[in-house]
Amino acid sequence: MPIKYDLPLSDWIAIGLNRERLDLAVKAIDSHKPIGDFVNGGESNRRYISKILKEEVINQFSDSKQPLVQVTLNSLDARPENLSDDYNYNIWLSVGRHRFEATDNGKGMGLEEILRLLVIPFSTEKDPSKTYGWRGVGFLSSLNYCLKLPAQTHILVDTKKEDKGYHLDFYSKTEEIRDLRMAISRKIYGREGTRVAIRGTLLNKESTMEYLKDHLDGIPCYIGRIYLNRRWMNDDKGAKWYSCPVTVDTTNGEAAQQLGFRMNKYDSYGSPHIRLTSQGAKVIGYSASKDATISFPPAAKVVEGWNEFKNDGNFRKCTDAAFHALALYFKDAYGAKIKKDKSRFQYEMLDFVPEMMAAFSLKSIADVPNIDEIKEMLLPGKEYALTKPEYDNLRPFINDSLEEKLFSVSHQAISYWAEVFGREKKLLRDTMSLVDELSADEFVAGFGSGEKKSVLPFRNISILKDVVQSYDIQKIKLVEHSPPGKSCVMVIKPNDNAFLYINVAHSHASGGYSQAKAYSVLSDFMTLHYVANQIIGRDVYSHFHPYEEIVENEIYHKIPWLEEIPAQEEKQE
């Protein structure tokens, strides 16, 4: 009958730290011999090891479910490096009432690896220059379950490597870290791989399953297929990964690794987020307009507590790589979506770029390494950035040729894009020449006894005298903009001050006095005012003509002299 070797965990750690005693203990256990002669931890040594264990077991994670993620990442560590099929590595997670289990078909652990790597809280043999094999450093944190429910919770590990299998039982009879124990016995384990089972916890099944989905869903399935209660959890759902090489610094020098980006088709677990993950395992998420996953390579270090990345040189290199991967997505997805809804995709991505900047703590759009490439992809030929209300307000006033130079973004994103594109003021300066600027009193007086010379040639706009007074217009700007847009007037309200722009080059305003033209000037103003107040949140430009007829009818019945216009004198365009 196999011998069961049951010792305080601190004694096992002491054996693992001594190369000579480790070799002797491994040989003795494999030969079914006693190991009492190799256990010589000493009380002071036990106290020192227990102090370090406390940091790893109790203080490493504030989140009680995070150890389950670490156990799963250990399973990813075990992925064989020489798999012929990238999609042939599987991890099976099982969550039930007061239990959790993770099973893989990867490389099992030999006894030396168990004692030298798995239970050593400060092992330095995890090599971050390798694609796999670095994770799972938080395995010891799972032992905290044993301390929370002593004499009830056990963590069982069954592992087989080549022809040797072992069964480990971690438990404690008290809540003290020094009383943690590990029992090892030889076992015939059916197939190569490892199974970790946590029995007797207080974990809630439903909330635990949701937590695992949220934190492991982003792991690329080419790293490993993860099944949760027999359902494939990290299915890519048809979303494509875009990867970019990044040269990182490791303890062994520079190494080439890959950063991955995936724009998710939908978010199964709530509102959309940008998830920063450690090779797919969620570290932190930021609220965003679109759901995306960014998979950092192994050399990007996660801080103690697993809630953010260490902001070092490798993180900054990964930041650059993330935006290059985003450009690959644009190149691929933009071409596919351009036939369906170019403007919508553009608008969404112009919001997403600043959101991704915020996730990486970039304060200026100039910090995006490939911003020129992104601009060329999303905004070819564009010169002016406007908010949606600014765009809707300006569009009827300006000519159609400027459409190719304008784009609209949300209020949240405008400050970023304004760094590299002109705003509304620049557009007005570049495309219009100022003829005169008048106060409301000067404008009204200009058509009366105190006529102002610059106003005299444009008698058709005199009908706006009452408008200026009724709508509290502070400034009137007479401009020339040619060719004109649909409307000869526009109101802009910077800082709650209303400025009335009148395009005197427009056919409604120019030329000799005509009641029909004056009617058209008033119609333009009232149509814009009507649409802006009645069609809230919709495109003023596309609604200008349909509502123009409604407004014209109202004006016609309110202004008596309009009835005197001869029928043959139609409104001039």
| 441: Cα separation from own chain's centroid | 52
pLDDT digits (tens, 9 = 90+) for 449-482: 555 555 567 889 988 888 787 778 889 999 999 9
Using CB atoms within 10 A of its CB, is residue 495 exposed (0-12), middle (13-18) or buried (19+)? exposed
Q: What is the predicted pLDDT for the residue at 487?
A: 92
Q: How many alpha carbons fall within 13 Å on the CB side of residue 213?
A: 17
Q: Which helix (H) or strand (E) holds 330?
A: helix 313-359
For residues 21 and 267, which has the higher predicted lDDT (pLDDT)? 21
User: For residue 424, what are its two tokens?
Assistant: 């509304």
Per-residue tokens: 514: 């005509």
Average pLDDT, the chain: 84
User: Which of 311-315, 374-378, 499-503, 512-516 is the least confident region?
Assistant: 512-516
Band of the pLDDT at 570, cuts 50, 70, 90?
Answer: very low
What percent of the chain clears pLDDT 70, i.e. is strictly above it? 84
pLDDT for position 134: 41
> With 0-12 CB in 10 A as exposed, 13-18 as middle and 19+ as buried, what is 358?
middle
Residue by residue, DSSP assigns 107-120 as ----HHHIIIIIS-
Cα-based torsion angle of the residue sequence 249, 254, 255, 259 in order, rounded to the nearest 10 degrees? 40
The string of pLDDT tens digits covering residues 377-389 is 999 999 999 998 8
CB 121 within 8 A of CB 54: no
pLDDT in tens, 62-105: 889 999 998 998 898 888 877 655 567 899 999 998 999 999 98
pLDDT number for residue 95: 97
pLDDT tens-digit series, residues 138-197: 789 899 999 999 989 999 999 999 889 999 999 999 999 999 999 999 987 678 899 999
Contact 546, 491 (CB under 8 A): no
Q: Report the pLDDT value the prediction gives residue 337, as an integer from 0 to 100.
A: 52
The CA dihedral of 450, 454, 459, 460, to the nearest 10 degrees, is -130
Domains, the chain, in order of start with CATH, read 5-232 (3.30.565), 241-358 (no CATH), 423-564 (no CATH)
- With both helix axes pointing from N to C terminus, report the angle between 9-17 and 43-57 in degrees, rounded to the nearest 10: 100
Candidate from 263-267, 416-420, 481-485 with smallest mean pLDDT: 263-267
Which of 59-68, 188-197, 259-268, 365-374 is most confident? 365-374
